[in-house]
Amino acid sequence: MARISKSPEERKQEIITTALTLFEEKGYENTTIQDIAERMNAAQGLCYRYFKSKQEIFAASSDFYAQKAVENMRQSIRGTVDAIGKFNAVIQSLLTYAAAHGEFESSYRDVPEISAERIRRIAVHISDILIPIVEQGQREGVFHCDDISGTVRILSYGIINLIHSEMPKKNVPEHIVSFVPTIRRTCKILLGSEENRLGRGWGKR
């Protein structure tokens, strides 16, 4: 069988996606570069050609993971018209995605020097998605807050840090769902909303 030739960028992406799968299956501590290479049917040297260490691979995998999470959130609001529906869809997408990738989420505890920056980046992306939604909600009369940008950033950073606080190694979905009532109450208070629809469906899989 002829050997398939791949570009350096394709090889690098293959390492990232393979590593992400293994981190989800085994966790950060239990995954080695040898594991990644074997899953790819390649030599360890291939991984070291693109990354200096397992930690560097994890950082790249985290960036890719965050990118996919943000894409899911953006897709979740397509076809939804009203602000409450969009807001609910974004938060539900975030919670569902995190719960579905529990092993990888819990791996952040093992690499705190990477996790803080990645969590910050995700919070920034969430804010960018939610700000126009809350602005729409203000126009529709369902949200009432003086500082939209500041309020949304507080919510985004708060939600992300809350669900990652004391993230367990097991039962991650249950851990995330346990915070839903707090997230719902906080959103209602900060957004000045009395809408019972706000938070409907959050945490359901």
Question: For 115-134, b where at least 16 C-beta lie within 10 A, e where not — what string?
Answer: beebbebbbebbbebbbebb
pLDDT surpasses 80 at 165? no
Is 39:21 a contact under the CB 8 Å cutoff?
yes
Residue (of 88, 77, 75, 81) closest to 200 by Cα position = 88
Q: Summarize pLDDT for 107-161 with one digit per residue, the tens.
A: 777 787 777 888 888 899 999 999 999 999 999 999 999 999 999 999 999 999 8
pLDDT surpasses 50 at 191? yes
- Token pair, residue 160, equals 């992300």
pTM confidence score:
0.85
- Token pair, residue 79, equals 């076809």
Domains of the chain: 55-191 (1.10.357.10)
Q: Summarize pLDDT for 40-96 with one digit per residue, the tens.
A: 999 999 999 999 999 999 999 988 988 999 999 999 999 989 999 999 999 999 999
